[in-house]
Amino acid sequence: MRLPSPEPGGASSAVPGPVNHLVNVSVASRLPIAPDEAWRLLTDWERQPSWMRDAASVRLLTERRDGTGVQLAVRTRVLSIPLFTERLEVVAWEPPRRLVIAHRSLVHGVGVWRVDPVPGGSLFRWVEEVSLPVPVLGWVALAVYRPIMRRLMRGAMRNLRRLAAGE
């Protein structure tokens, strides 16, 4: 499987697995802080539910807080109801520019975060490329959920911008 590109319009095409397809959602936003500050905010794991509303809680599973191999347990809300705990693992760590997190439980795939300097702050790009391991039904469920996922990610971007601005 290829990792999705965080470049606008450059995400890899959905690559079918043996029985499933990946669903891709991407969003981007300017943040009024420098990339190193944005990186610190993004990787403050336990604080993520303050801007990522579908995360009820985030718990660190490893002693280390940074670098590849860091594992997280995210209690995830679906339609505002905490339904399951997802295990995530950092598989690429390139501060303050790029972070790749693998979904290792019910949801499979990767999330890619990219932070680039722009005048007055940073451009944060977020790509999720995920699948469910249930043949056909998993893809259908994600295809139906994709617009909700996009709305949640856009809302997370608005919340993150406010947090970065100190609001």
Residue 13 inside a domain? The answer is no
CA torsion 24-29-35-40 (nearest 10°) is -70
Residue 150 inside a domain? The answer is yes
pLDDT of residue 20: 53
Residue 80 inside a domain? The answer is yes
Residue 51: give the domain boundaries: 23-164
pLDDT of residue 37: 98
Residue 96 inside a domain? The answer is yes
pLDDT of residue 2: 44
Q: Which residue has the tokens 């985030």?
A: 58
pLDDT of residue 4: 53
How many folded domains does the chain comprise? Answer: 1
Residue 99 inside a domain? The answer is yes
Tokens encoding 81: 């109801």
pLDDT of residue 106: 84
- Cα 53 to Cα 9, 110, 125, 141: the distances in Å are 26, 19, 18, 20
Low-confidence ranges of the chain (pLDDT < 50): 1-3, 7-19
pTM for the full predicted model? 0.84
Tokens encoding 90: 């950092």
List the CATH number of the domain containing 127.
3.30.530.20
Residue 35 inside a domain? The answer is yes
CA–CA separation, 140 and 45 (whole Å): 30
CA–CA separation, 137 and 30 (whole Å): 36
Residue 108 inside a domain? The answer is yes
